[in-house]
Amino acid sequence: MAYYETMFDQLDVTVAQMLVTDSSFRDKDFRKQLSETVRAMLKMRVIPVFNENDAISTRKAPYKDATGIFWDNDSLAALLSLELKADLLILLSDVEGLYTGPPSDPNSKLIHTYIKEKHQDEITFGEKSQLGRGGMTAKVKAAVNAAYGGIPVIITSGYDAENIAKVLRGLRVGTLFHQDAHLWAPVVNTTSRDMAVAARESSRKLQALSSEDRRKILLDIANALEANEKTIKAENDLDVVAAQEAGYEESMVARLVMKPGKISGLAASIRQLAKMEDPIGRVLKKTQVADGLILEKTSSPLGVLLIVFESRPDALVQIASLAIRSGNGLLLKGGKEARRSNAILHKVITDAIPETVGSKLIGLVTSREEIPDLLKLDDVIDLVIPRGSNKLVSQIKNSTKIPVLGHADGICHVYVDKSCKMDMAKRVVSDSKIDYPAACNAMETLLVHKDLEENGVLNELIYALQSSGVTLYGGPRASAKLNIPETQSFHHEYSSKTCTVEIVEDVHGAIDHIHQHGSAHTDCIVTEDGEVAEIFLRQVDSAAVLHNASTRFSDGFRFGLGAEVGISTSRIHARGPVGVEGLLTTRWILRGKGQVVDGDNGVVYTHKDLPVLKRKDALENGHGAMENAL
């Protein structure tokens, strides 16, 4: 008590010790007076601190006596919360809350909301299976009693001093007990983890279908979208109005609008995608391991994808159809400004998925779970694809162990060598900057060989950029020479009609500059000297390296990959512009006749490469699918 007094005193709060016994509560008058006393104390801003009056208690062992009114601090707390009609009971433990198993077991998961019907059988209590340290069994029992008497309860850790404040701010901390918890289903009941597991199960059923049946699903979705165009448009209009009323930026509202013709455009691109060669089960490599032992490396879906996208609701349609084409399960987390559009599109699409696969193939995360929670599901989600701002991508990359397909920075360079043709240099440099300045593959830095200072080419390049309205900053060398302001940093993505210029010694200087300041996205050399070009192409360690061509070509459609999943600056899995193959992994299939290893004496290894027969179905037609829509 002295400790409580001392601690509260630091906050200028007065506390009062309240010692009660089990038997007091048998007296109805006492209970009435207790409520009045506490109310009076709170009015005086005095905080009561309750404890059992051990010295005078007549309670006897066994203390866990169900006939008793309370038998420990947890049951006392539950009793008091009911007597005093508390707004909330917080039980502090030494673990984060109630787990599905021992908290020390990495497979145990924190239960955010306890649902009696669901959890009471799932978690077995008793002397032998007491969960957690610090008497979690007693706490759960007390919490259930209070909660089903009408008092909401949170069990959380007392080790984090912020936890009480977090609970009061309504943050998702610890385990919540509430008598209506079962009614909150499915939002609370279906966690995104459950959705991911269900998506994986459905994806396995999708994979088990024939190629033709998978194609049919896409065609059904295309038809369903067109059939529901009016409803979709109506929901989209509501989103747009709400966004305008909420005062969102015009550019954001513009991205939100599904213009007339959008639905039929999306339907057309899904039909294109349906024509594409089936990406699943393609034989990538075939080897005769031994006589009659044939090994195939085949393409196979990744599993479950998580797409986090902002604003544009058509992204949902594109991604859902790419996921189906590639046999993957999918979790979608859209922006709340497109809530209604996303919901109707998700409904139309999943309604078109046959029962043999199940509509849970594509989950729309609509619960209040935020992105950080989703990003923790690294055991059930295989790949995250963020579609949105660079900021979104880097935030996601920094906060998950799940592989992320995307790029945060696009600091692309064009190096103009001394041997360039001036007209070509002007054309490539201008297009790289001006064709679409906000694109990730737009040029941010122009590097120029020092010899071009003298012969006027540098000035011509600068003039070409400036006359197109490009603002220029210089590196130390160029800013002095050209009398332009010096840049603060070479590692900067302007995403506008602005760029940095610097003069370098030669191709090696350019390569060093790119390695030091670039983002390994796309870099280009303009030169007529084939040897210099090959040095650049071989040594620049970027996802895409170009010779005499605009950086703007570095793109899934222009590279001929068909549907573009994204552009990756990661080195693992997929790099540079990524098509459907970014949604696939491989599986090894070995067919034998009963061969065994037997200490490697069981077979004679031949390891002969066998020819892989290409499937011909609709490969050519499929190129460029989704191109219009994306």
By CB atoms closer than 10 A (0-12, 13-18, 19+), residue 611 is exposed
Q: Which of residues 119-178 bind a copy of itself (CB under 8 A)?
A: none
Q: Tell me the per-residue interface mask from 337 to 376 with a copy of itself, x by CB under 8 A, - otherwise.
A: ----------------------------------------
Nearer to a copy of itself, 60 or 128 (CB): 128
Q: Using DSSP, state whether 92 is helix, strand or coil.
A: strand
- Interface with a copy of itself (CB under 8 A), residue from 435, 451, 506, 617: 435
Q: Which of residues 37-56 bind a copy of itself (CB under 8 A)?
A: none
Nearer to a copy of itself, 160 or 451 (CB): 160
Q: Which of residues 490-519 bind a copy of itself (CB under 8 A)?
A: 515
623 binds a copy of itself (CB under 8 A): yes
Helix (H) or strand (E) holding 98: none
For residues 370 and 396, the answer to whether their CB atoms sit within 8 Å is: no
88 binds a copy of itself (CB under 8 A): no
The CA-atom distances, in angstroms, between 574 and each of 405, 565, 569, 584 are 8, 10, 8, 10
Q: Which of residues 196-235 bind a copy of itself (CB under 8 A)?
A: 204, 207-208
C-alpha dihedral over 475, 478, 479, 480, to 10 degrees? Answer: 130
- Interface with a copy of itself (CB under 8 A), residue from 48, 102, 265, 281: 281
CA distance 191 to 608: 49
Name the residue with tokens 């902002």. 310
- Interface with a copy of itself (CB under 8 A), residue from 560, 610, 615, 621: 560
Nearer to a copy of itself, 9 or 486 (CB): 9
Q: Using DSSP, state whether 292 is helix, strand or coil.
A: coil
Q: Which of residues 282-311 bind a copy of itself (CB under 8 A)?
A: 287, 289, 293, 295, 300, 302-303
94 binds a copy of itself (CB under 8 A): no
Q: Which residues of 570-606 are buried (b: 16+ CB within 10 A; e: fewer)?
A: beeebbbbbbbbbbbeeeeeeeeeeeeeeeeeebeee
Smallest distance, Å, CB 229 to a copy of itself?
28
CA distance 165 to 156: 12
587 binds a copy of itself (CB under 8 A): yes
CA distance 364 to 343: 8
- CA 617 from chain center: how many Å? 34
Contacts 24+ apart (CB under 8 A), 350-358: 351/224, 352/217, 352/220, 352/221, 352/223, 352/224, 353/217, 353/221, 353/324, 354/217, 356/205, 356/209, 357/202, 357/205, 357/206, 357/209, 357/217, 358/198, 358/201, 358/202, 358/205
CA distance 502 to 118: 65
Which tokens sit at 80? 């008091």
- Interface with a copy of itself (CB under 8 A), residue from 224, 242, 424, 630: 424
Nearer to a copy of itself, 339 or 515 (CB): 515
For residues 301 and 322, the answer to whether their CB atoms sit within 8 Å is: no
- Interface with a copy of itself (CB under 8 A), residue from 345, 464, 543, 626: 543
Smallest distance, Å, CB 278 to a copy of itself?
12
576 binds a copy of itself (CB under 8 A): yes
- Interface with a copy of itself (CB under 8 A), residue from 181, 545, 565, 625: 545
251 binds a copy of itself (CB under 8 A): no
Smallest distance, Å, CB 40 to a copy of itself?
29
Q: Which of 565, 572, 583, 561 is nearest to 280 (CA)?
A: 583
Nearer to a copy of itself, 9 or 370 (CB): 9
469 binds a copy of itself (CB under 8 A): no
554 binds a copy of itself (CB under 8 A): yes
- Interface with a copy of itself (CB under 8 A), residue from 411, 513, 577, 626: 577
548 binds a copy of itself (CB under 8 A): yes
421 binds a copy of itself (CB under 8 A): yes
Q: Which of residues 373-392 bind a copy of itself (CB under 8 A)?
A: 382-383
For residues 359 and 350, the answer to whether their CB atoms sit within 8 Å is: yes
- DSSP assignment of 172-230, as one string? --SEEE-TTGGGGTTTTTS-HHHHHHHHHHHHHHHHHS-HHHHHHHHHHHHHHHHHTHH
Which tokens sit at 103? 């908290």
- Interface with a copy of itself (CB under 8 A), residue from 279, 403, 406, 475: 403
Nearer to a copy of itself, 206 or 256 (CB): 206
For residues 119 and 140, the answer to whether their CB atoms sit within 8 Å is: no
585 binds a copy of itself (CB under 8 A): yes
594 binds a copy of itself (CB under 8 A): yes
Phi, psi of 63 (to 5 degrees): -70, -25
265 binds a copy of itself (CB under 8 A): no
275 binds a copy of itself (CB under 8 A): no
Q: Tell me how many residues contact a copy of itself (CB under 8 A).
A: 80
- Interface with a copy of itself (CB under 8 A), residue from 271, 484, 547, 618: 547
CA distance 1 to 572: 58
418 binds a copy of itself (CB under 8 A): no
611 binds a copy of itself (CB under 8 A): no
Q: Give the length of the chain.
A: 630
CA distance 106 to 129: 17
Paired with 446 in beta bridges are: 414, 501
Q: Tell me the per-residue interface mask from 52 to 81 with a copy of itself, x by CB under 8 A, - otherwise.
A: ------------------------------
Q: Which of residues 473-492 bind a copy of itself (CB under 8 A)?
A: none
Q: Binding segment for a copy of itself among 149-157, 176-184, 213-221, 397-405 (CB under 8 A)? A: 397-405
